Amino acid sequence: MLKFLSRVRIEFNALDPRTASCMEFLAQCNAPKAKESNPACQIQVKRRTDDHPPQITVTFVNGVEEVYDATSTPAQTIRTMILDKGQFLETEQMFREAGEAWPVFIPEEELRQHAPGTKPRKAEEKKL
């Protein structure tokens, strides 16, 4: 997960009962396997003393920053969203390195073409 990130900032009030997601996410970030995937990723923890809700802010390697509300989003969901966005970034990088245009636009007529070796859908069978 950390391989897609340059910085993680976890903010919470230790006395707030809504910190479970922050604590779990911090544990995931501190896991040896996560740290090995990107030792350069900065992990910052800010312990707050006010009523600010727990939040997790991540900065992706391309500079895009996203803020997650840790009061209503489980740590596993945040992790999944980071992995999904990271895979998207990897795909984009592969296309750019290959000299291909990004994003990829597929013409409408190609989307409607029948793929060889597949069965047409029921609605398409009636048209044929």
Find residue 42's DSSP bridge partners.
Answer: 7
pLDDT of 104: 79
pTM value is: 0.74
Pick the range with the lowest mean pLDDT from 15-24, 39-48, 56-65, 88-97. Answer: 88-97
| Residue 85 CB partners (closer than 8 Å, separation 6+) | 4, 60, 66
| Residue 21 CB partners (closer than 8 Å, separation 6+) | 54, 56, 70, 71, 73, 74, 75, 78
Identify the residue with better confidence: 102 or 53.
Answer: 53
pLDDT of 107: 85
Q: What is the pLDDT of residues 72-124, one digit of tens each?
A: 899 999 999 999 999 998 888 888 888 888 887 888 888 888 777 767 666 55
16's tokens: 């707030």
Find residue 28's DSSP bridge partners.
Answer: none
The confidence band for 126, taking pLDDT boundaries of 50, 70 and 90, is low
Euclidean distance between CA atoms 59 and 11, whole angstroms: 14
Q: What are phi and psi of 51, to 5 degrees?
A: -90, 10
Residue 58 has pLDDT above 70, yes or no: yes
Share of the chain above pLDDT 70, in %: 92
